[in-house]
Amino acid sequence: MFSPEHKFIKHSDQEHEKSLQIKKFDLEYPKKFTDFFLSLFKKVNIDASNNLKSYFQFRDYENGSAYLDSTSYLSRALTSSNPSQRLVLDEKLEEEFEGYHLKMSTDEIARLDEIITKAYLKKVDIKKLISLMEVETDQVKKNLLLLIIQIINPNAIPKTENEVKIKMAYGVPYVGDCSKAERHMLSYISGRHPNPRHGYVNLILDNKGSPLMLEKIDLGNSHSCISLKPVRINRVLIPAGAIFAAKPENKPIRSTVRWFTTQKRAGAINFVTGLNHYRGFEFIRMSLISIPEEIRASAGGSYYLDQQYLTEGYINYDWLTPEIIAEYAMTRLEKK
C-alpha cells in the first residue's frame, strides 16, 4: 500500500552526497540564461540599464544565481505602493518619469500607475513577450517572463484556476533576501534540522483549509514564507515556490496535526494557522523549489551549492516541489 509518509521520509533521508553525485551541472546553463534575456530585451524594445543587465549576467557557481538574484531585484517593482518602481525595466522610461510621482497627490498615484502602463505598452512589444512565455518549456525563463510581463502591465495575466488571492502589506518584518529559507524550512519539515528546538515552521492554510505556505519562525529571520500554490498579490500572479515576508495579525496557532507517525522526528510542523490571521505579505524572490529538479542545480548556482553543502548530508530536498509538500500536508491534515 502506498504511504505518502514513507515516501516523504525515504526521500528526505537520501544523502546529499549521493544526490550531488548523480546531479548534472550544466555549466553552460548560466551563459544561455544571460544570452536569452539580454537578447530578449533588445527584441521587445526594452532599454535595460546596466544595473538591470547585471542581475541577468552570467555567474560562476561561487557568485549567486542570476535566476534568484534577478527575481529578488524585480520583486520591488511587483509589490510596491509606488508605481514608479515599475520603471526598473527601462532606463529611458525611468528618465522620462523621474520625479513625476513627487508632483502628484496620494489620490493621483493610481493615475500614475495607468500612465506608466500606457507608456510601457506604447514602447514594449508585450504580445511577443506573452507569446514567448506561453511556448517556453524552461520553467526558469517562464517564471521570469511572467514577472516581466506583469511589471509592464499588472493586468496582463487573467485569473487562473488554482491561484489564491492574498493581501499586500507594508511594514512587514525584515527578512532580507532570506538566502537560506529553503534549507531551513525543508529540512525542518523533514524532521532533520540540526537545531529543531531553535525554531519552528508554521503551515498557513488558505480560506478553504488547503496548505498555502510554509512560514519559518526563529530559524534565521522570522516570518519568511515559501508559497505552495500560485498567489495573486497586488494584481500580480506569482508562481508557486516563491519567498514572501509575512505580517501576522496574531501568533501562530499550536496544532494537534502529527506530521510523522512512524517514528519520532524533532522539528516538522506543530503550528497551523489560517490566512485570515495575517495582515498581508510582501514578495521577496523566487525559491529553488519553484523550478524542476533537473535544472535546480544549474539555475541555483551558489544558492544551491551553499544550501546543499551546509546541510552536511542530513537531508535531501531535491525531489521536493510545492505540489508534493502541499499534497503531503493535506494527507496529514485529513488524519489529525
Q: Where are the domains of the chain?
A: 4-26+159-334
Q: Per residue of the chain (336 residues), what is the pLDDT tens digit?
A: 346 677 677 666 655 555 555 456 777 888 899 999 999 999 999 999 999 999 998 766 667 789 999 999 999 899 877 888 999 999 999 999 887 766 667 677 778 889 999 999 999 999 999 999 999 999 999 999 999 999 999 999 999 999 999 999 877 766 666 667 777 788 788 777 777 677 788 999 999 999 999 998 877 667 889 999 999 999 999 999 999 999 888 888 888 888 877 656 666 787 899 999 999 999 999 998 999 888 888 888 888 877 666 555 555 677 788 998 899 889 888 876
Reported pTM: 0.90
Q: What does each C-alpha distance from 321 to 146, 186, 232, 240, 302 come to in angstroms?
A: 19, 10, 19, 9, 20
| Cβ-contact 42, 298 below 8 angstroms | no
Measured in Å, how far apart are the chain's first and last C-alpha atoms?
Answer: 20
- Residue 247 grid cell: 505580517
* Torsion angle of C-alpha atoms 108, 111, 117, 119, degrees rounded to 10: -90
Cα 210 versus chain centre, distance: 19
SS3 246: strand
pLDDT of residue 263: 59
Residue 284 has a pLDDT of 92
Helix H or strand E segment including 273: strand 269-274
